[in-house]
């Protein structure tokens, strides 16, 4: 099960989200003070007006007059307009500096991760100059604390938006227009990400697990991910692999080290090590995994993975095998 921290842009875990949270609080306090002042003056105006209402209804419609009041009102309103413009300008400058801090000069030594949005899951690929060292996984992003990360974002179907509020602002994934975003995690933790651009029926179930961890833990994770799938170590696992390879799973999924090499669905080489399945929708437990394999469209209507019929023994063996893929 996942123990993610509260998904919030105001609980920053990266330099970028810290800048955003800072800006948010400036806007919050400035606008709160202005709102309070407006409310107070409105209240005073109402009270004064109430007191002024005379017994004689005729006098109520006669303006109390004098040019003096009118010119004073003009002065006050003009002064307030100037103050408003100045405050808006100051907020604009704050916004500009925050934007600059977020899109700071790219770090050439950054860790490069390619993220591809699919309906409705995230393909995650750790780049490496050596093709055999490239790691492909899904719906779970691990990054080392303190190291700059460059995300190369793209979509192959419709517009998605990558958003891990505790880490950075949103970045749209527009088909045909690859883009990048940068961040540096500042503390370890597990956070939740969410597609932030409506992308079809299961948009709400297009989430991800984001893990910021100490550099040692990260490099252990990455080197485990680089290995091909472990060989089955029991008869049941062996049978499970046969079930997998003999069924339509191989038309859509990859398990490195086997002949399953399709990329229509998530890479399953280390599915046993993932915290969640179905793009953050279900915990990766034996029960949910079984339900998902038997009838994924019942859990996530519209999904491209079809229902699968198999005997209980085959299913148990398949589950043993998938769970062994750490």
Residues that bind ligand HEC (CB under 6 A): 120-121, 138-139, 244, 247-249, 251-253, 264-266, 268, 271, 274, 277-279, 292-293, 300, 303-306, 308
Given 14, 124, 138, 195, the residue binding Cu ion (CB under 5 A): 195
Q: 19 Cβ partners below 8 Å, 6+ apart?
A: 98, 101, 102
DSSP string covering 226-269: HSPPPPP-SHHHHHHHHHHHHSGGGGT-B-TTSS-B--SS---T
Query: Are the beta carbons of 106 and 150 closer than 8 angstroms?
Result: yes
Residue 165 binds which of ligand HEC, Cu ion, none (CB < 5-8 A, kind-dependent): none
Q: Would you say 186 or 203 has its CB closer to Cu ion?
A: 203
- Residue carrying the six token digits 């297009």: 206
Strands (DSSP E) contained in 27-170 are: 111-118, 121-126, 135-138, 140-144, 148-155, 160-162
| Site membership for Cu ion, residue 305 (CB under 5 A) | no
Size of the site for Cu ion (CB under 5 A): 5
CB of 202 to Cu ion, least distance (A): 8
CB of 173 to Cu ion, least distance (A): 9
SS3 label, residue 65: coil
Q: Would you say 172 or 323 has its CB closer to Cu ion?
A: 172
Q: What is the DSSP letter of 285?
A: -
Q: Would you say 178 or 302 has its CB closer to ligand HEC?
A: 302
DSSP string covering 131-191: GGG-EEEESEEEEETTSEEEEEEEESSS-EEE--TTT---EEEBTTB-EEEEEEB-S-EEE
Tokens of 115: 């993220």
CB of 300 to ligand HEC, least distance (A): 6
Question: Which of the ranges 29-37, 76-84, 199-207, 293-301 carries the binding residues for Cu ion, by CB under 5 A?
Answer: 199-207
* Distance separating alpha carbons of residues 310 and 231, to the nearest angstrom: 23
Query: Are the beta carbons of 142 and 111 closer than 8 angstroms?
Result: no
CB of 6 to Cu ion, least distance (A): 21
Residue 203 binds which of Cu ion, ligand HEC, none (CB < 5-8 A, kind-dependent): Cu ion
CB of 120 to ligand HEC, least distance (A): 4
Q: Would you say 4 or 271 has its CB closer to ligand HEC?
A: 271
Residue 195 binds which of ligand HEC, Cu ion, none (CB < 5-8 A, kind-dependent): Cu ion
- Give bridge partners of residue 152 from the DSSP assignment: 114, 180
Using N-to-C axis directions, what is the helix angle for 15-52 and 67-102, rounded to 10°? Answer: 170
- Residue carrying the six token digits 């000069």: 105
Residue 170 binds which of ligand HEC, Cu ion, none (CB < 5-8 A, kind-dependent): none
CB of 88 to ligand HEC, least distance (A): 43
Residue 293 binds which of ligand HEC, Cu ion, none (CB < 5-8 A, kind-dependent): ligand HEC
| Site membership for Cu ion, residue 303 (CB under 5 A) | no
CB of 223 to ligand HEC, least distance (A): 20
| Site membership for Cu ion, residue 203 (CB under 5 A) | yes
């Amino acid at each position: 099960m996942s123990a993610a921290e509260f998904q919030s842009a105001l609980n920053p875990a990266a330099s970028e989200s810290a800048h955003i949270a800072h800006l948010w609080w400036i806007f919050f306090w400035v606008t709160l003070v202005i709102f309070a002042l407006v409310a107070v003056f409105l209240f005073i105006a109402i009270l004064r007006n109430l007191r002024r209402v005379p017994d004689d209804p005729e006098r109520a419609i006669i303006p109390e007059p004098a040019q003096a009041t009118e010119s004073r009102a003009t002065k006050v309103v003009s002064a307030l307009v100037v103050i408003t413009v100045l405050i808006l300008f100051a907020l604009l400058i704050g916004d500009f500096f925050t934007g600059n801090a977020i899109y700071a000069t790219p770090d050439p030594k950054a860790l490069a991760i390619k993220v591809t949005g699919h309906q409705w899951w995230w393909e995650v690929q750790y780049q490496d100059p050596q093709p055999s060292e490239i790691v492909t996984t899904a719906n779970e992003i691990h990054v080392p604390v303190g190291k700059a990360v460059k995300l190369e974002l793209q979509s192959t179907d419709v517009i998605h938006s990558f958003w891990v509020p505790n880490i950075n602002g949103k970045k749209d994934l527009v088909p045909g227009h690859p883009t990048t975003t940068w961040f540096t995690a500042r503390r370890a933790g597990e956070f939740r990400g969410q597609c932030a651009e409506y992308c079809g029926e299961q948009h709400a179930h297009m989430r991800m697990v984001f893990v910021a961890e100490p550099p040692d833990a990260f490099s252990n994770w990455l080197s485990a991910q680089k290995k091909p799938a472990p060989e089955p170590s029991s008869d049941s696992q062996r049978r499970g692999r046969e079930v997998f390879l003999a069924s339509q799973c191989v038309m859509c999924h990859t398990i490195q080290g086997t002949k399953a090499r399709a990329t229509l669905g998530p890479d399953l080489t280390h599915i046993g090590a993932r915290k969640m399945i179905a793009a953050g929708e279900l915990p990766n437990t034996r029960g949910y995994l079984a339900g998902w394999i038997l009838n994924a469209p019942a859990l996530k209507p519209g999904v491209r993975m079809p229902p699968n019929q198999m005997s209980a023994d085959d299913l148990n063996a398949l589950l043993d095998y998938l769970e062994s893929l750490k």
